[in-house]
Structures are given as C-alpha cells and as structure tokens.
Amino acid sequence: MSDRLCLDFPTAPDLPAADFIHLAADLGLGRVSLLLAPVLGLPDYRLSAPGPERRAAQRALRETGVRLDMAEPFCVAPDTVTADLPPLLDIAAELGARLVNLLARTPDLPRLGQQMGEIRAAARDRGLGIVTEISRTRHIGHAGPDRALYPHPRPANDHRTGCAAFLARGR
C-alpha cells in the first residue's frame, strides 16, 4: 500500500466515508482526506456527530490500515466563531488525522490572522498540523485563475474544475 499518495474526498463525493476508505485501500493508497462536516452543498458524511457513519469510518480505517491524512474543511470566514471549531478538531484527532485543511475565505486579513492563530493553537494542542487554502473569491466552487490551485493565468478555453487537482496529493 502506497503511503505517498492521498485519495481526496472530491474524487468520489457521493461515497460514504467507510466506502471511500475501502476504495482507497482497493487502489493501494494508504491515505485519504475526509469531509467532517457538510459544506457548500457537498454531501453530509455525518462524521461530525457520534453515530453509525463515524463508527463505520473508524472501523474501515482500522481494518484497511488506511490513515486519515487530512480532515476537511475548516472554513474561516468573517463570521467564523473559532470557539466553535474545537469539537471538529477533536473528531479529526479521534479519527487519526495528520492535518486539517483551513479554507480561508475572507478579505479581512487582520481578522483572518487572528482566527488562524487561534485555530492553529487549538490544532497544535491536539497534535494536528494545518494546511491552508486561500480563496480570494470566497467561493470554493469557483476555479478561476485567481485560485491557489492555478498560480498562472489559464487559457479562456480551459474549463477544468478544482476537484480534478485534488484527486491524489503527494505527501
């Protein structure tokens, strides 16, 4: 099983977390990213609450040896209350995540700096690292040339979406 590639949740967004973990194992991949809470119209995998879905995901991780590389996304917007995030960080740690993904979606840079500092401290207390994505458009579904995924302007006829870039991420 390869521990160098991670299968990211947008690859098969309709699969329940446990099935997605088994898919990664079947493909010989040792890491996955999982969406912990519903966001931006994506399916609710029900991992943010105790219940059968979270237990199934824990069991799949244990049985397959696949590890949770990154728990996603922790959105940081102007109205984000950072005190609300520790329970999700606890779940990420409980599932064995190595990283959490902070999706920064605010033009208020001083506020963003404060929020990210608070989240970083809470993540560090739980043994979690942080990956930060910046979305100047404040909309995750927009894959325009200003996205961090595409640092250079793309031709007008290039209609790729951001999800294609997340299929597998090297460690």
> What tens digit of pLDDT does each residue of 31-42 get?
999 988 777 666
**What confidence score (pLDDT) does residue 146 get?**
39
Q: Evaluate whether 88 touches 58 at the Cβ level (below 8 Å).
A: no
Q: Supply the mean pLDDT for the chain.
A: 77
pTM score of the predicted model: 0.74
Q: Evaluate whether 8 touches 169 at the Cβ level (below 8 Å).
A: yes
> What tens digit of pLDDT does each residue of 130-159 get?
988 876 554 444 444 433 333 333 344 433
- Check residues 132 and 97 and name the one with the higher pLDDT: 97
Q: Collapsing DSSP states into helix, strand and coil, what is residue 103?
A: strand
Query: Cα-flanking dihedrals φ and ψ of residue 88, to 5°?
Result: -70, -35
**In which residue are the tokens 């966001």 written?**
39
**What confidence score (pLDDT) does residue 105 get?**
79
Question: Which segment, 5-14, 69-78, 113-122, is predicted with the most confidence on average?
Answer: 113-122
CATH code of the domain containing 127: 3.20.20.150
**What confidence score (pLDDT) does residue 66 get?**
96
State how beta strands 168-170 and 2-7 pair.
antiparallel
What mean pLDDT comes out for the span 91-114? Answer: 87
**Tally of domains in the chain:** 1
Structural domain boundaries, residue 97: 2-170
Q: Evaluate whether 131 touches 171 at the Cβ level (below 8 Å).
A: no
**What confidence score (pLDDT) does residue 148 get?**
37
**What confidence score (pLDDT) does residue 136 get?**
59
> What tens digit of pLDDT does each residue of 22-31 get?
999 999 999 9
**166: how many CB neighbours lie within 10 A of its CB?**
17
